[in-house]
Structure 1
Amino acid sequence: MMKKLVVLSVLLFFACSENKEKTFVAEVSCGQCQFHLTGQEGCDLAIKFEGKAYFVDGAHIDDFGDAHDKNSGFCEVIRTAEVTGKLENNRFKATSIKLIEK
């Protein structure tokens, strides 16, 4: 009984913590061109962390320059950013995305 209670507590903790806004470093790029996401047409901003990619709400792919620029566009390259937001309904709700220049 105690073991089940501990497992349930851990699951509840993770379920609740996923809804909170967090800041972390993630890959940022075009969901379709670079992360091979489906379900939307055209080119849309996405982040990838912990091996999984998510479309982004709260920022647009062209907010960071021309998405098709050969050197820096998200349809051409994967960049690194500090992102703030939360996962909700299998999408990333961004409140901040700051590119990290290498």
Structure 2
Amino acid sequence: MKQLILLSLIIFTSCSKEQQQSKNAEISCGQCQFNLEGEGCSLAVCFDDKAYYVTGFDIDDFGDAHDKHTGFCNVVRKGKVTGKVENGKFLASSIVLE
């Protein structure tokens, strides 16, 4: 009986959650580099020809966003992102820059 309950819980949770995805992506400022609507500079990712604002990470988590050589408001960087798209935003659990 315990095994049946455990199996039911595993099936229920796997069916009810959207699966996270890992993607190679461009990472930058949504407004400055990807022309997304909004106010102020915010972290965004672009993959599969679509850009999304990111939740779970801040634009300054990877250094000064306005640095001339590495800042997301001035350059588009590449990396691997893990998370899921929800309500038009990318809920990131991991961002690894190249």
**By the TM > 0.5 criterion, same fold?**
yes
Equivalence map 1:30-41=2 (5 Å): 30-38=29-37, 40-41=38-39
Corresponding residue for residue 82 of structure 2? 84
TM-score scaled by length of structure 2: 0.81
* Structure 1 runs of 4+ with >6 Å offset: none
Q: Secondary structure at the match of 1:63?
A: helix
TM-score scaled by length of structure 1: 0.78
Identity rate, percent: 59
Corresponding residue for residue 4 of structure 1? none
CA shift, 1:20, in A, is 1.2
Instruction: State the alpha-carbon separation in 1 of the partners of residues 47 and 23 from structure 2.
Output: 9
Corresponding residue for residue 20 of structure 1? 19
Unmatched 5+ stretches in structure 2: 1-14
Corresponding residue for residue 97 of structure 1? 95
CA RMSD of aligned residues (A): 1.1
The count of corresponding residues between Structure 1 and Structure 2 is: 82
